[in-house]
Structure 1
Amino acid sequence: MPSVTVGIPVLNEENHIERVLSGFLDTEYPNLQEILVADGGSTDRTKEIVQEISQKDERVRLIDNPEQYQSFALNRMIEQAKGEVFLRADGHCLYQEDYLKNNIEVFLETGAKNVGGSQRYVASNSIQAGTALAVKSFLGNGGAKYMDDTYEGYADTVFLGCFWTKDLREIGGFNTKNITNQDSELNLRLIENFGESVFVSPKIKSWYYPRDSYTKLFKQYFRYGRGRFLTKVLHPKSSPIRGLTPFLFILSLVIYLITDLMTLTNLYFPYVAGFLGAVVLVESLRVVLSNRKEFIKENWTGERKPPGSVSLLLHMACSVIVMQVGHFSGFLYQLFRKVFFGVKGW
């Protein structure tokens, strides 16, 4: 049983960090070497809580991350990690009790260079519920294998991840030029260096809280779009096509609209837009009707009564649109900076 370092980058996680640390400290796995928490300048009680726990259990150690971004935090923890295995964790996820044990079992059984589970979601308000359902559709996940909670097998990336520490050091850790999408970029490097080596297992279960407002959701996917562009530049051949799809599709619509407005011939753009809107609504209805009961039972964590089918339908449709427009905008923004200003990084 290899020794394990759990690495958690955090920023203002006072509501969750004690629960997350306690869960890992109480793990059944017998060889947890340490838990490193890299704080990016929290202004709440996050650092204080971590320090209090570290005084009671010396396996917990707080590290400062003055650059704030996760890539820097992860690299600092990789440099200092004492464990043979580096398990990446998130500061506000929910983890199944056997999460660490299952990661190690799958890791050793498969011989993969990185293993993890699918990106499962929980929700406590209607907007989060809409996003959690949106990723169950191709319109929200683009066909990503790690978004399918029943999939088992090799993929191009996973949620979070479990690595040999020496492998992370060998390939140079996480790319600090790519502030978001750093997981996907690193996994592409693993595949390019070691072949098919990133494994998704339904045994490895954790749950993620999506953004709780459409403004935050747009900003998140705007950053994702920027990150996808940078990943595409770094890995033009191996980067998955789904990273380009929102940009190419919405760009085609924009060009179509402009052409329709500037030519005398009627190209019927409003009808096409209406048809696409109907497609989103119909797909949202299908996903809500097929997943609502299971979602309320397994994914709803709100104190209030869960939203009804109509509310879920509308919020899922809105989430799909916000996610795609945000991704397109971030991709276009980064493309514009590179073409006109020569900016190659973030």
Structure 2
Amino acid sequence: MRPQDVLGTQVWPPPNPAETVRPAASATTTLTDLTVPLPEPPSGGEKQPAPRRRRRRGQADPRGHWFLVAVGVVLMAGALLLNGYAVNAVGETHAVPSPADRPSAELDQIRRSGPVLNLTGDKPDSARLPARTVALTFDDGPDPRWTPQLLDVLAKHGAKATFFAVGARIAKNPELTRRIIAEGHEIGNHTYAHADLAAVPEWRLRLELSLTQKALAGVAGMHTRLARPPYSSSPAAVTGTQLRALHAMGREGYLVALTDLDTKDWARPGTEQIVRAALPRGGRGAVIMMHDSGGDRGQTVAAVDRLLTQLARQKYRATTLTSALGMPSAHTPAGDLDRFVGTGLSLAQRGATGFTTAMSWILAVAGALTLLRLLFFLILAWVHARRARGGKRRVGRAPAWPAPPAVTVIVPAYNEEAGIEATVRSLVNTDYPGALEVIVVDDGSSDGTAAIADSLGLPGVRVICQENGGKPAALNTGLAHASHDILIMVDGDTVFEPATIGHLVRPLADPAVGAVSGNTKVGNRRGMIGRWQHIEYVIGFNLDRRAFDLLGCMPTVPGAIGAFRRSALQELGGVSVDTLAEDTDLTMAMCRGGWRVVYEENALAWTEAPTSLGQLWRQRYRWCYGTLQAMWKHRRAVVEPGPFGRRCLGYLMLFQVVLPLLAPVVDIMAIYSVAVGDPLPVVAVWAGFVLVQALSGWYALRLDRERASALWVLPLQQFVYRQLMYLVVIQSVATAVLGVRLRWQTIRREGTFAA
């Protein structure tokens, strides 16, 4: 399968050349695309008829995937909210002290009543267990660790019990719930999220009870008529607000089960203390409250074993609550609709739990990988800086040129009238002692780019005009007409410092070096967007290039500044038109061809960065999409010998594709954690990451001899710029997967260096 079949690249067949070359200040002519491999420059200046080439138009950018992204975000948020609700984090409730109760005859009656309350009628009624009968009740489960141990103990003694289960845990542990019922035990409703029913409005109370019934129907095909409110105890402890909640439960048709003996085993007072608190006095019957979830229940398991042994000696019967009262079973069959809804609820609950757990792990792994990458690259950058100061490269000291080599600088230009004059003048006003020619290739500009370059009348400058064929075609035109073997490629919005060319060509004295990446800097960094890009260029690009230089796997020689050996380019067949990131494609091909690609930090080029979010989006969209194309095109490098495929492609896939695609998870999980929990840990982690980034940024700025004061915008970068970058990756991956042919994303030039 060809890369363009998957990633939607445009592969243009090379047409026959028809060209006219002229020195500066001569008549303007046109030139069509050149063939590859590079032809010899034509002799003479006659104009030949140029066959017209049909060009494919790029399709419109895909838009439907944004709907899918929005749906994914909604589902993600829904899963987090459902899981947060199930663990009582969303809408969190806990037992709160009640205000002093006003004297009430009904409240006094309830406090003197039995532990089982019937509040379904006009008058409250209650019941107590008969003598020598106990109903062991366990709250807050089922728990996958402790509930099975309790069931084993109960089976050992032939005892039955009542489990007041939390709906969310029923949905999470369906097999365990079914085991409780299959072994003859009873299940009661303990709300869905263990909410304090005395502290919530009545609609929330009804929702808590209803969701638990739905979960029970979906898991076991039944409902229950028993309920126990969380944070309750004996009737004597009922407060006025709790009584209102008990009445509401009665109106829903529940028998409310409180307790005679509250063991308070949740506090883990010790096995002996739990047993003493659970033993009835004087042969009386009792409802005994314990817990099978909510923490370490080892003491409870041991206490139940000893308690049942002692109760058996005293001729007690341990059975379910309804059986102890001589009532029909609390379990009733559920309807088909409730079973269907409950099954969906159970699946959604387990899915939400699994999703939240997975996202937490992904967040932790992504954070660890980011920190390790940053630390590793900082170490490599430090080593690179030390070697560079010592004049050494990775495989030893490069030989010196016996004499400064002749250099050709190629400037592909399309609608660059705002900055072309500054670019050309910076190339001519150099202190490089060797021979130098500058070729400006006007790629069918509709503005005055060619006329401005032509009117400068600078020595050694040639202007070539051709029909619009794209930047790779313009570069191949310049390569075909270059007079020298050392070639430098420069964008039309970039200016060089006087010493840049000398620094840039110095590493090419080593015959193993095929290309050299220069140090690109943002020239228009006054606005916030410019400052953000300045930090990104220094930290994200130049710091990485130092590491890639040592690792021998440079992925990109930027189009703004790069030097190449002509023989290496001829070996590769020139600049490929297969991708929209021709610089990345060319660099990867050079690495696969066995050429070394190095980074020269002292070769400085100042480029004009986008000045608006829209312009930035178009530029990075093209970069990211083109990089994906190049990665796909060179994917076979993974199984080839050499460090490029194993190191570079894996790094790009992990840190420039996979982790940015997972970046929304970081933001959503952070918002979720702040919304449902204590925000301080989230803020602390975020501040820690920013601090680490600031320290690495300070070091990177120091290496590039830049002011550290630029770092004040780094915290703000996390709230706009970072999100824009990962949305660009999402858009690019969607475009690639859908096979859409992306159009060239042009940006408006501001003429930063015109003065």
* Residue 222 of structure 1: aligned partner: 621
Determine if contact 1:145/1:155 at 8 Å carries over to the other structure. Answer: no
* Residue 132 of structure 1: aligned partner: 534
Residue 332 in 1 paired to residue 734 in 2?
yes
Aligned AA (2:406): S
CA displacement 1:207-261 (0-9 Å, x = unmatched): 223211111112222112211221111111225234323432344467x79xx9x
Residue aligned with 1:124, SS: coil
Residue aligned with 2:602, SS: coil
Gaps of at least 5 residues in structure 1 are 261-266, 301-305
Query: Structure 1 residues 171 and 144 mapped into 2: Cα distance closer, same or farther (>3 Å)?
Result: farther
* Residue 63 of structure 1: aligned partner: 464
* Residue 421 of structure 2: aligned partner: 18
CA displacement 1:274-310 (0-9 Å, x = unmatched): 9999866754565558649x69x9769xxxxx9893x
Structure 1 distance, partners of 2:685, 2:446, is: 44
* Residue 166 of structure 1: aligned partner: 567
* Residue 649 of structure 2: aligned partner: 240
Determine if contact 1:16/1:92 at 8 Å carries over to the other structure. Answer: yes
* Residue 371 of structure 2: aligned partner: none
Query: Structure 1 residues 206 and 336 mapped into 2: Cα distance closer, same or farther (>3 Å)?
Result: same
Aligned counterparts, 1:211-290, within 5 A: 211-236=610-635, 237=638, 238=645, 240-245=649-654, 246-252=656-662, 270-271=672-673, 283-284=689-690, 287=693
Structure 2 distance, partners of 1:253, 1:135, is: 20
Determine if contact 2:521/2:538 at 8 Å carries over to the other structure. Answer: no
Query: Structure 1 residues 111 and 335 mapped into 2: Cα distance closer, same or farther (>3 Å)?
Result: same
Determine if contact 1:127/1:213 at 8 Å carries over to the other structure. Answer: yes
Structure 2 distance, partners of 1:178, 1:109, is: 29
Structure 1 distance, partners of 2:415, 2:685, is: 39
Residue aligned with 2:531, SS: helix
Aligned AA (1:162): A
Shift of 1:332: 2.3
Structure 2 distance, partners of 1:268, 1:30, is: 57
Aligned counterparts, 1:66-145, within 5 A: 66-109=467-510, 111-122=512-523, 123-137=525-539, 140-141=540-541, 145=544
Query: Structure 1 residues 285 and 15 mapped into 2: Cα distance closer, same or farther (>3 Å)?
Result: farther
Pairwise CA RMSD: 3.8
* Residue 441 of structure 2: aligned partner: 38
Structure 2 distance, partners of 1:186, 1:105, is: 21
Larger deviation, residues 116-125 vs 227-236: 116-125
Choose between structure 1 and 2 for higher RCO, CA contacts under 8 A separated by at least 6 residues. Answer: 1
Residue 202 in 1 paired to residue 612 in 2?
no
Structure 2 distance, partners of 1:207, 1:117, is: 10
Determine if contact 1:131/1:315 at 8 Å carries over to the other structure. Answer: no
Determine if contact 1:221/1:324 at 8 Å carries over to the other structure. Answer: no
Query: Structure 1 residues 103 and 253 mapped into 2: Cα distance closer, same or farther (>3 Å)?
Result: closer
Gaps of at least 5 residues in structure 2 are 1-403, 639-644, 745-755
* TM-score of the superposed pair, with normalisation by structure 1: 0.76
Shift of 1:145: 2.6
Higher CA-based Rg: 2
Structure 2 distance, partners of 1:56, 1:119, is: 25
* Residue 264 of structure 1: aligned partner: none
Structure 1 distance, partners of 2:469, 2:687, is: 39
* TM-score of the superposed pair, with normalisation by structure 2: 0.38
Query: Structure 1 residues 144 and 176 mapped into 2: Cα distance closer, same or farther (>3 Å)?
Result: farther
Shift of 1:168: 1.0
Determine if contact 1:40/1:65 at 8 Å carries over to the other structure. Answer: yes
Query: Structure 1 residues 110 and 31 mapped into 2: Cα distance closer, same or farther (>3 Å)?
Result: same
Determine if contact 1:118/1:201 at 8 Å carries over to the other structure. Answer: yes
Structure 2 distance, partners of 1:46, 1:288, is: 41
Shift of 1:41: 3.2
Residue aligned with 2:591, SS: helix
Alignment: residue pair count: 318
Structure 2 distance, partners of 1:288, 1:19, is: 34
Query: Structure 1 residues 95 and 316 mapped into 2: Cα distance closer, same or farther (>3 Å)?
Result: farther
CA displacement 1:300-323 (0-9 Å, x = unmatched): 9xxxxx9893x5531464222212
Determine if contact 2:513/2:598 at 8 Å carries over to the other structure. Answer: yes
Determine if contact 1:5/1:35 at 8 Å carries over to the other structure. Answer: yes
Structure 2 distance, partners of 1:15, 1:30, is: 29
Residue 189 in 1 paired to residue 589 in 2?
yes
Residue aligned with 1:202, SS: strand
Query: Structure 1 residues 31 and 312 mapped into 2: Cα distance closer, same or farther (>3 Å)?
Result: same
Residue aligned with 1:105, SS: helix
* Residue 303 of structure 1: aligned partner: none
Determine if contact 1:229/1:335 at 8 Å carries over to the other structure. Answer: no
Residue aligned with 2:603, SS: coil
Structure 2 distance, partners of 1:62, 1:21, is: 11
Shift of 1:153: 7.8
Query: Structure 1 residues 136 and 33 mapped into 2: Cα distance closer, same or farther (>3 Å)?
Result: closer
Residue aligned with 1:91, SS: coil
Structure 2 distance, partners of 1:280, 1:131, is: 21
Structure 1 distance, partners of 2:454, 2:545, is: 34
Query: Structure 1 residues 126 and 25 mapped into 2: Cα distance closer, same or farther (>3 Å)?
Result: same
